[in-house]
Amino acid sequence: MSSHIKVLQVNMNRNSSTTENVLQIAIELDIKVLVVQEPWVITGNNNREYRSIIHPSYYQILLNYGTLRPRTLVYIAREL
Residue 67 lies inside a defined structural domain of this protein: yes
Q: Which residues pair with 75 in a beta bridge?
A: 34, 60
Is the pLDDT at 62 greater than 90? The verdict is no
- pLDDT band per the 50, 70, 90 thresholds, residue 66: low
- Domain range holding 26? 7-77
Position 33 in a domain:
yes
Residue 1 placed within a domain: no
- The pTM of the full predicted model, rounded to 2 decimals, is 0.86
In a domain, 18, yes or no: yes
Determine the pLDDT at residue 6: 94
For every residue of 10-54, DSSP letters joined together read EE-TT-HHHHHHHHHHHHHTT-SEEEEES---EE-GGG--EE---
pLDDT digits (tens, 9 = 90+) for 13-53: 999 999 999 999 999 999 999 999 999 988 876 666 788 88
Residue-level length of the chain: 80
Domain assignment present for 2: no
Note the pLDDT of residue 47: 66
Instruction: Work out how many domains the chain is built from and give that number.
Output: 1
CA 60/CA 73 separation, integer angstroms: 7
